[in-house]
Amino acid sequence: MSSQQNTQSQTQYDSPRVPRRTPMACQFCRGRKLKCDGGRPSCSNCNRRGQPCVYAPV
């Protein structure tokens, strides 16, 4: 006689409740494959080059 006990005790699922804030790359950095630090209003890359830092909405 083997009865498997199905003990389901509070499944603590690690649900990503907090949306991970991924630093969005601006257009300039994206086009140049640069590492955008997501600075506002201008990221460091754009700031350095005097480029208009544009963040395109996803």
Question: Which parts of this chain interact with Zn ion (CB under 5 A)?
Answer: 26, 28-29, 36, 43, 45-46, 53
Nearest-approach distance from CB 19 to Zn ion, in angstroms: 21
Task: Please tell me the distance from the alpha carbon of residue 56 to that of residue 39, in angstroms, as a whole number.
Answer: 14
Nearest-approach distance from CB 4 to Zn ion, in angstroms: 56
- Residue number with CB closer to Zn ion (12 or 53): 53
- Residue number with CB closer to Zn ion (16 or 57): 57
Task: Please tell me the distance from the alpha carbon of residue 42 to that of residue 8, in angstroms, as a whole number.
Answer: 51
Radius of gyration of the chain (CA): 23
